[in-house]
Amino acid sequence: MDLRSCSPPSARVVTDRMTVYGWHASHEQVHPRALLDAAVAAEESGFGAAMCSDHFSPWSERQGQSGFAWSWLGAALQATGLSFGVVNAPGQRYHPAIVAQAIGTLAAMYPGRFWAALGTGEASNEHITGGGWPRKELRAARLRESVDVIRALLAGEEVSRDGLVTVDRARLWTRPAEPPALVGAAVSVETARWCAEWADGLITVNAPHAHLRRMIAAYRDAGGRGLVCLQAHLSWAGTDAEAEAIAYEQWRSNVFPPPVCWDLELTDHFDAVSAEVPMAKVAATVDISADLGWHAARLRSYADLGFDRIYLHHVGQDQAAFIDAFGAKVLPQLA
């Protein structure tokens, strides 16, 4: 699978591959207008693809934003020639038929340039419906039903369903000629294995190399098809101290493993539990350095694990300097 292709991928053996390095747009940290300018700059600086988050609220008061991803994606696809993906959680805040309509419209307008990664979500976004936060196994089952609904609608079927999601005679009237890839979002080996049952590819976040190897192996060994992709959190600045300060200020609320990160509801909750997080814990989650050569080597090490797409997420709010520096000094080392 090529995440820049809207055709469903077939299984393949990864050999002699060329990793594509993309840029991640964090709606929770940056105003959407500034993010759009950054997307244009990222393409001009040599990034080969892009993706974005889709949250209703940030994880911390300090992050301070949370624009609507689907509005922004239309503007970003029009303003650039990049492929774009989004990580979405259908089933609670979003009805899967609405997700299918959003996916279908963007893929019809920008053939071959849009994909969606689907996951079970986080309470911080989903609690707004007032419907309660289901147990993990119910969230997984709901996601699986939602995937089936989305695929059927994108295939042109009329869909009715009575289950964890309810659909009544839904049909998409505007659809792409070929359905875009629906990628599985996972952070655990078990979820990566489960995604192989239904996904057109896999996306995860940076973690120790041994864990990432197990993730890829679990997905591939279970028959997982398509590309495996990584969102790499990093922090760069003119000095190590500045890079550490950026990571600590912006990302210390994001260092908690499941179920904490799934189950907290408000920015106040995240800020309270992260008030005394040590810097070492942030550094275990974010790749931090002022050395651009170090970042290039780190990114190359992820590619060597077998990742086909690596999306760089600078956790600072100033994206311009990061894009300029990595476009000039890091991407050329990775070509």
Catalytic residues: 55, 122
Q: Strand pairing partners for 86?
A: 52, 116
> Which residues fall within 8 angstroms of residue 235, CB to CB, at 6 or more apart?
243, 244, 246, 247, 250, 251, 286, 287, 288, 289, 314, 315, 316
Phi, psi of 48 (to 5 degrees): -100, -5
Write the secondary structure of 208-267 as one string of H (helix), E (strand) and C (coil). CHHHHHHHHHHHHHCCCCCEEEEEEEEECCCCHHHHHHHHHHHHHHHCCCCCHHHHCCCH
Other beta carbons within 10 angstroms of residue 221's beta carbon come to 11
DSSP assignment of 34-82: HHHHHHHHHHHTT---EEE---SS-SSTTT-----HHHHHHHHHHH-S-
Which two three-digit tokens encode residue 211? 């864990």
Closest CA to 247 of 318, 319, 312, 315: 315
Place of tokens 């190399």: 209
320: which DSSP letter?
H
Are 52 and 25 in contact by the 8 Å Cβ rule? The answer is: yes
Which helix (H) or strand (E) element contains residue 327? none
Q: Strand pairing partners for 185?
A: 203
CA distance 235 to 119: 25
